[in-house]
Chains A and B, each alone.
Chain A
Amino acid sequence: ETGVTQSPTHLIKTRGQQVTLRCSSQSGHNTVSWYQQALGQGPQFIFQYYREEENGRGNFPPRFSGLQFPNYSSELNVNALELDDSALYLCASSLEVLSEQFFGPGTRLTVL
């Protein structure tokens, strides 16, 4: 069984651009959560998707949006990038909403 994978590993964008980050959950996991980890900070919850519907959101503006697909993959989209969006973005999948989360290695986003 493969673990949680994320792509790309690293990404550089400029302010104002849009970015899409991808996550492939473990097979059978119907829940995915996304986190932002700024330098020197702990991961901060962005939102969670359960069976392709948003199921909870942290304190992030609407320009952070997501999608979850039936094939256990998901996307995090960020519009109008700001310098403060530079961070490591982690996705975590779980079998169910209240099950243990398994994290991917993250995507390092740099906004210039």
Chain B
Amino acid sequence: DQQVKQNSPSLSVQEGRISILNCDYTNSMFDYFLWYKKYPAEGPTFLISISSIKDKNEDGRFTVFLNKSAKHLSLHIVPSQPGDSAVYFCAASGRRGYQKVTFGTGTKLQVIP
């Protein structure tokens, strides 16, 4: 049972344009949502997070939006840069923290120069 779903396995975007990565979840007990970025041969690195009490969190070029009623979140990268090319994982946990984090299957983003 995939509780966190990333339905787009891959995404290609032109450099300078906006990248939008989407994520859906089914478990209403999830309270905290995270995005991780993973380069080949490296472990995932934390990118940005959002608590269920918020609907938007911004950090530089990265913004995460949360729609609780739709159980949907999205990551916006503006402007996209070639160095952003990586696999992005959406993840969720049951409380503000990092216990038993449930990951999605990932979206491979390619930013074309």
Contact = CB atoms under 8 A, between A and B. Distances in A.
A109 to B, nearest CB: 15
Residue of B4, B95, B98, B104 with most chain A CB atoms under a 10 A cut-off: B98
Interface residues of B, number: 22
Interface in B14-70: 41-46
A7 to B, nearest CB: 14
A94 interface: yes
Nearest to A9: B41
A84 interface: no
Contacts of B100: 45, 48, 56, 58
A41 B105 contact: yes
B99 A48 contact: yes
Interface in B86-101: 89, 91, 95-101
